[in-house]
Amino acid sequence: MTELELADLLQVSRTPVRVMLGLLRELGIVTALPNRGQVLAKSSDALRAFVLPEAHDSDATLHATIIRDRLAGRLEEEPSQADLARRYDVSPATVQRLFQRLEQEGLVQRTGWRWSFLPSLGTVASQRASYQIRQILEPASLLLPEFMSDVAVLDQLQEEHQHLLDTLLEKVEVPIWIFNLDARFHETIAGFGQNSFILNVIRQQNALRRLLEIRSYSDQTRVQAWAKEHTGIIAAVRLGELEKASHLLSAHLGKADRFLGGLAVHERQGNGN
């Protein structure tokens, strides 16, 4: 396996592939050979029985703290590894591991000896503006004359959403997995419209909202609500009821916008305005 081949196959950049191959080497699953790339070091039977080690609780706590500090403006856009180690009283190796995870999640990128946070929606007002432009474009994509769905893709989305609903109250799903499912749903529906301009806007908005959305997934009631709304839209698209699907999608995005509007009022009241 090579980085380029895997990136093409998975339709991602080479950066997350490089990070994950490094993890697989640490776990002894693959080995790097000169001029050959990465080769499997375990048999298929061994891989089926392999269990990934759980993340350290301290890592999860620090991960949440870094996201919270960045959103609150307490972390600059390009913090140095040494500054971060001193700030959080951890080893440079811990900082390296956490920021490799943030890089894998699409929240940061490496710039020389520093990590650079990628642009994100940082205020309730910017979040509302994002939902408003999506509410204009996404429901309209369902009504385009070129709209063409893929039943196999819809079935896969339905299965993944049902898995989320079935396990949400039993265990804590990895936040990045929840975000990717949410983003993939919206990008899939927009992609069915066959309009690359609309799809590019939705992808851009998903990238911008990643940091805030990952933090919000501790609210299981909210996650459960939007997952159910997604399944209703998927069912309508599968039946070819596109006007109904468009209406449901508009209502889904409008509900999120109104929720943020309530937060904005609460913040103003809290500030005495």
Same domain, 70 and 109: yes
Same domain, 94 and 137: no
Q: What is 161-189 written as a DSSP string?
A: HHHHHHHTTTS---HHHHHHHHHHHHHHH
What is the structure's pLDDT at 194?
A: 96
**Its pTM surpasses 0.95:** no
- The string of pLDDT tens digits covering residues 190-205 is 999 999 999 999 988 8
What is the structure's pLDDT at 172?
A: 55
Same domain, 156 and 260: yes
The structure tokens listed for 199 are: 């799809």
Same domain, 104 and 128: no
The model's confidence at residue 58, banded by pLDDT at 50, 70 and 90, is low
Same domain, 138 and 112: no
- The per-residue b/e assignment along 134-169, b for 16 or more CB within 10 angstroms, e otherwise, is bbebbbbbbeeeebebeeeebeebeebbeebeeebe
For the cut 50, the answer to whether the pLDDT of residue 264 exceeds it is: no
Same domain, 138 and 18: no
What is the structure's pLDDT at 258?
A: 81
What is the structure's pLDDT at 175?
A: 75
The model's confidence at residue 267, banded by pLDDT at 50, 70 and 90, is very low
Quote the number of domains for the chain. Answer: 3
- Which residues span the domain enclosing 219? 124-270
What is the structure's pLDDT at 272?
A: 52
The model's confidence at residue 265, banded by pLDDT at 50, 70 and 90, is very low
